Amino acid sequence: MIFKEKLVHGKLIKRYKRFLADVELDDGTVIVAHCTNSGTMKSCLENGAEVFLTPVNDPKRKTKFTWEMIKINNDWVGINTGIPNILAFEAILKNEIPGLGVYTTVQREVKFGDSRFDVYAENADEKCFVEVKNVTLKEGKYALFPDAVTTRGRKHLKTLMQVKKEGMRAVMLYIVQRSDVEVFAPAKTIDPDYAAALKLAVENGVEVVVMKAKIKPEAIRLTNPLPVEI
C-alpha cells in the first residue's frame, strides 16, 4: 500500500482520550491528530518519539491529521487500524498471501449473519470469509493480540466457526505492523477469554494466518508469514 500523499513528520507529545494525540510538527506547530487505534497501544506508545501523519482535507473533520506510525527502537510501527484491511484486500486480490489461493472475486465488507467480515473471496471451488486484525503489541520475540479485552473479537471468532460449519472457508488474518517480532500468539494474560475462543475456533476448522508488514513513510508492504503458537 503506497501512501497517496506525502506524510507529515513530527514528535508525539501525548495520546489521550484514546482517539486523540498531540503532535509537535517539525516547524514547531502543535496539532491534534486522530488516532484510529482504540486499544492500549502498549509497547508502541512513547512520548517524544518520531511519528508520521497523513494530512486530511475534510471540512467535516475536526482533526486535520491521521496518525499513521511511530518510531520505536529505531523502527517504524504502524498504528492505523484501517491499514491492515487495505493490505489484506490488496494482497488477497493479487494472490500474495501464502495459502490463501487464487480467487476470482474479492470484496470488502461483506455481511454474514449479524457480522460484517473485512474480506470475502471466492473461486469456482470455494467461498472464503476473512476477518482482519491489526497487531502491534510486542513482548520479547512475540507479536500478541489483543492489547485490550475484546468482546467484538470473540464475536468474530464465533461467527467464523459458523462460516466453517456451513461448509465455507473461514480465515482469521492477523497483520503485524512491526518488524521486530518472530512469532504470533494470543495475549493470554490480557484477554484469556479471547485466547480460549481462538483455540476453540482453530479446533473447529478456522484457519489462522499471520503476516508481518514492513512499515515505511512511503509505503507499507506485507513481507512474510509468522509462525503461530496457540
**Edge-to-edge order in the sheet of strand 183-186:** 137-139, 142-145, 183-186
Q: What is the mean pLDDT of residues 27-37?
A: 97
66: three-class secondary structure by DSSP: strand
Average pLDDT, the chain: 96
Greatest extent of the chain over all pairs of C-alpha atoms, in Å:
57
Query: Given this model, what pLDDT does residue 86 score?
Result: 96
CA distances from 191 to 73, 195, 198, 205, 227 (A): 26, 7, 11, 22, 20
User: Quick one: DSSP state of residue 28?
Assistant: S
Residue 145 has pLDDT above 90, yes or no: yes
